[in-house]
């Protein structure tokens, strides 16, 4: 097998050639330019040179003249690799300059090996007659090299310009993405704030300012909804109308601040005894309404009795005064037993409350004076 000197400054193109020759038993040597290759020729005395026709420091014609001037390299076989664009012209220019072999840089492995074997086994090349680098062959090769290098420079310039534009577009895209993310974040926060403000406004609209309980407006919205559900499910609804007995007495005796304290205390106490699905509202003045869904008449009655009894023992303090005793009158109506709509049941509960007050207050009355 042969020792082959490869002249190629590009690692990406020379490494496959080195591997290929090594697999076929050849010993590759590497030089990055013509001057380094001449030094290796003097020392290592390779059997063949595989070189680019355009090297960094000299062209193929100059290299051949320098190579043939070496005492032991006058007949050293040379295989030039050239791009498809310059191969034909380079072959014509160097036809009489030592008769080197040519292959394209993009040639398949089999083609490269065939050229190497042909050069190694063929008739030795004729010594190169030194001639001026400014002669016809040198001038044409220099022209070819200049044009090729000029084209490469143009392509490199276009590539650099494209890279700059890509960098600019990337920077613009990053800036636009950042601005968009900021805008989206601002809008999300604005929507959250608007949602919270709307929630607070709605809460104020359906809450009683004094007791913190739902107000009559909320009751009207909720009761119709619960009645519709009860009709679909076939389950009953109980409605309590709750009134603080003799409430005017608290205002007249202790002042309106005391009356407000009684309203708050009764409202919070009733709220503490309700279920999560119940609806408790301040209906107006000293009246409260408690809506119990999915509850039987007995369950509603027992809840009303528990409220009435516990409120009797409740003490309300206003400053250094204790206000009491406090009693409740409660009227109960059931849907569908006492009405087929929310308003009808409310009227029935109000009528039952009137009967509780007429009967002496501090008691619970079921609609139509029914007994449990």
The residues assigned a catalytic role are 286
The helix (H) or strand (E) run that includes residue 257 is helix 256-272
CA gap 65, 315 in Å, rounded: 121
Q: Give the Å distances, CA to CA, from 28 to 4, 21, 35, 37, 75.
A: 5, 7, 18, 12, 19
CA gap 243, 180 in Å, rounded: 58
Yes or no: say if 245 and 327 are a contact pair by the CB < 8 Å rule: yes
* Helix orientation angle between 216-233 and 342-358, rounded to the nearest 10 degrees: 110
Q: Which of 209, 203, 278, 206 is nearest to 242 (CA)?
A: 278
Q: Cβ contacts of residue 324 below 8 Å, gap of 6+? A: 314, 315, 316
187 exposure class (CB count in 10 Å sphere: 0-12, 13-18, 19+)? exposed
For tokens 């034909």, name the residue: 88
């Amino acid at each position: 097998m042969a020792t082959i000197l490869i002249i190629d400054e590009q690692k990406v193109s020379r490494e496959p050639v080195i591997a290929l020759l090594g697999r076929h038993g050849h010993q590759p040597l590497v030089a990055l330019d013509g001057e380094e290759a001449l030094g290796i020729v003097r020392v290592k005395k390779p059997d063949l040179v595989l070189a680019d026709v355009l090297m960094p420091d000299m062209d193929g014609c100059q290299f051949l003249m320098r190579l043939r001037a070496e005492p032991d390299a006058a007949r050293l076989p040379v295989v030039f690799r050239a791009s498809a664009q310059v191969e034909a012209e380079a072959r014509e220019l160097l036809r009489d300059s030592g008769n080197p072999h040519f292959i394209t840089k993009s040639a398949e492995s089999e083609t490269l090996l065939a050229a190497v074997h042909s050069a190694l086994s063929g008739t030795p090349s004729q010594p190169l007659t030194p001639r001026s680098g400014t002669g016809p062959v040198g001038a044409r090769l220099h022209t070819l090299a200049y044009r090729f290098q000029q084209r490469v420079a143009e392509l490199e310039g276009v590539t650099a310009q494209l890279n700059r534009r890509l960098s600019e577009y990337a920077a613009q895209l990053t800036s636009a993405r950042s601005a968009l993310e900021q805008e989206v974040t601002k809008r999300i926060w604005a929507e959250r704030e608007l949602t919270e403000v709307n929630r607070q406004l709605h809460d104020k609209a359906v809450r009683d300012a004094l007791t913190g309980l739902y107000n009559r407006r909320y009751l009207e919205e909720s009761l119709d909804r619960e009645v519709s559900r009860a009709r679909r499910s076939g389950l009953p609804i109980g409605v309590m109308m709750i009134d603080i007995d003799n409430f005017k007495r608290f205002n007249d005796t202790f002042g309106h601040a005391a009356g407000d304290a009684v309203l708050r205390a009764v409202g919070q106490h009733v709220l503490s005894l309700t279920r999560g699905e119940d609806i408790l509202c301040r209906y107006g003045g000293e009246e409260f309404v408690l809506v119990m869904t999915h509850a039987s008449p007995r369950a509603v009655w027992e809840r009303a009795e528990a409220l009435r009894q516990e409120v009797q023992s409740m003490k309300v303090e206003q400053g250094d005064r204790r206000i009491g005793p406090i009693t409740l009158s409660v009227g109960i109506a059931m849907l569908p037993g006492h009405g087929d709509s929310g308003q009808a049941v409310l009227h029935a509960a109000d009528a039952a409350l009137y009967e509780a007050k007429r009967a002496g207050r501090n008691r619970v009355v079921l609609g139509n004076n029914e007994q449990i």
